[in-house]
Structure 1
Amino acid sequence: MHKASLRKLYRAKRQALSEADWQQRCAAIQERLLAFLTTQFEPEDGFTLHTYLPIRRQREVDTYSIIAELRQRYPKLRALISRSHSDGSMRHVSWSDDVTLTDNQWGIPEPADTNHPEVNSHDIDVVLVPLLIFDKQGHRVGYGKGYYDRFLATCRPDVLAIGLSFFEPIEAISDKTPLDVPIHVCFTPFRNWYFFNHL
């Protein structure tokens, strides 16, 4: 299927989830992600993780809960979030208690001010990547703006790009482009999907 059709289909599938089902799927995805990260990092490791913040109306996976739990397990964790700019770029800053959030034009929570020091994308070890659906080759369908593909292209070659999906993958996305950056791992409520051949 083409990306446009997949966006429409999986947006509808998300909206059709009951609140209880949404919460259960979020919890299952979080458990799988945290178990995986414990195989990659020791509790004393100070790694840098970039996360998206969920768009409420899109019913995305709850990353607030994920980061709260990671901060408990990894006291030296540096969590980053971004502001999106009209030129298609993203500016990354540390997410701390003094960062005030506001929704941008797409309903994405972002830092409200621009006074926080920018963090270079080369300093990032892990990226939680938003998606609507993915395929069995590790390609994903996002919201069509291309922000995360451009962002991931600026990261180190060994950055770990992780997708979080409520649904199992489709066989293949039919209109991939050379600019699409695949993910390395994706967690669903039911299974872990690994695409390490992309590393």
Structure 2
Amino acid sequence: MYKAELRKLYRTKRLALSEAEWQQRCTAIQERLLTFFNERFSPDTPLTLHTFLPIRRQREVDTYPIIAELRQRYSKLRVLISRSNPDGSMTHIVWSGHETLTENKWGIPEPAAIKLAEVNSTAIDIVLVPLLIFDKQGNRVGYGKGYYDRFLTTCRPDVLTIGLSLYEPVEAIFDKTSLDVPVYVCFTPFANWYFFNHL
């Protein structure tokens, strides 16, 4: 299917989920992700993790409990969130979990304060990547603004990109381009999908 079709279809499917089913799927994704972290990293591993915060009205995967649990398990975890800039770039900011957040025009929670500690994207080890749906090659469909694709091209080549999806993948996204950055692994409520051998 094409991106426009997939966006329409999976926005509709997500909004059709009951609150209980959405919560169940988010919890299942969290458990899979935490198991992956436990198998891959020791509790004292220094990690800089960039996360998205969910757009509530879009029924995105709830990352708040994921981050809370990771903070408890990893003593040297540094968490970043971003502010979207008018030029299409993203500014990455250290997030302790206590800063005041406001929603931007797309409903994305962002830090309200202007002056917070900024971090270069090359310092990031792991990125939790938002998506509407993905395919069996690791390509993702987002909201079409390109913020994450541009952001990921500025990260180190070894950055670990993790997609979180409420649904299983489609066979293929027909109109992907060279500008689309695939994820290395994607967690759904039902399976772990790995796309690169080093994982």
Q: TM-score, normalised by structure 2?
A: 0.97
1:101–1:110: 8 Å Cα contact kept in structure 2? yes
Residue in structure 1 matched with residue 149 of structure 2 by the alignment = 149
Q: Structure 1 residues 140, 89: CA separation in 2 closer, same or farther (over 3 Å shift)? A: same
1:184–1:195: 8 Å Cα contact kept in structure 2? yes
1:132–1:165: 8 Å Cα contact kept in structure 2? yes
Q: Aligned partner of 1:143: which letter? A: Y
Q: Which runs of 5+ in 1 are unaligned?
A: none
Q: How many residues align?
A: 199
Q: Aligned partner of 1:6: which letter? A: L
Aligned partners of 1:68, 1:157: CA distance in 2, in Å? Answer: 27
Corresponding position: 1:166 with 2:155: no
Aligned partners of 2:198, 2:19: CA distance in 1, in Å? Answer: 35
Residue in structure 1 matched with residue 50 of structure 2 by the alignment = 50
Alignment of 1:72-151 (within 5 A): 72-151=72-151
Residue in structure 2 matched with residue 40 of structure 1 by the alignment = 40
**3-state SS, counterpart of residue 127 of structure 2:** strand
Aligned partners of 1:39, 1:162: CA distance in 2, in Å? Answer: 15
Task: Give the drift of 1:197.
Answer: 4.8
**3-state SS, counterpart of residue 115 of structure 1:** coil
Q: Which runs of 5+ in 2 are unaligned?
A: none
Task: Give the drift of 1:198.
Answer: 8.9
Identity %: 75
**3-state SS, counterpart of residue 102 of structure 2:** strand
Please, what is the CA RMSD of the aligned residues?
A: 1.2
1:184–1:198: 8 Å Cα contact kept in structure 2? no
After the TM superposition, list the runs of 4 or more consecutive aligned residues in structure 1 that deviate by more than 6 angstroms: none
Give per-residue Cα distances to partners, 1:33-60, cap 9 Å, x unaligned.
Answer: 0100112210011201000000000000
Q: Aligned partner of 1:102: which letter? A: T
Residue in structure 2 matched with residue 8 of structure 1 by the alignment = 8
